[in-house]
Amino acid sequence: MALLVVCAGIFLLIALPHVIAKSRNVSSKNLSTVDILTALGIFLGITWFVAIILACTYPEEQAQQQATATSAVTCGNCGRSLGKLETPNVIRGHNVCYQCYTLLKDQVQQ
Ligand SMILES: [Zn+2]
């Protein structure tokens, strides 16, 4: 019974970097790096510490996606949201789409 508890404890200790990285929602590329370093840590020891440090310090993927999603630009004239590849044009300090810019630019310059 005691041996089973010790084995479970060792397994949890080995899996700890993966669990931390997974709960912090790091990218799949960084997660596989943590897994490789954890597996090497079984033989080398030191790479397990590197894996747990990386698991705690890698940037969270979902948070970055949400940040870019909330920074979507809308046209200050017609209200249409601009696409990812569209470059917003600025008229009187407002971001406007290309169609509105071509309509308004002559009026603004007068
Ligand atoms: Zn517009």
Query: Could you tell me the distance, in angstroms and rounded to a whole number, from the CA of residue 67 to the centre of ligand 1?
Result: 23
Which residues have CB atoms below 5 A from the ion given as ligand 1?
Answer: 75, 77-78, 97, 100
Among 30-39, 40-49, 60-69, the range with the most confident prediction by mean pLDDT is: 40-49
Q: Are residues 88 and 41 in the same domain?
A: no
How far apart CA 30 and CA 20 sit, in angstroms, is 12
Domain range for residue 42? 2-64
pLDDT tens by residue, 70-105: 568 999 999 999 998 998 899 999 999 999 999 999
pTM for the structure as a whole: 0.45
Query: Could you tell me the distance, in angstroms and rounded to a whole number, from the CA of residue 103 to the centre of ligand 1?
Result: 9
Domain count, the chain: 2
User: Is residue 97 exposed (0-12), middle (13-18) or buried (19+ Cβ within 10 Å)?
Assistant: buried
How far apart CA 101 and CA 82 sit, in angstroms, is 13
Q: Are residues 6 and 35 in the same domain?
A: yes
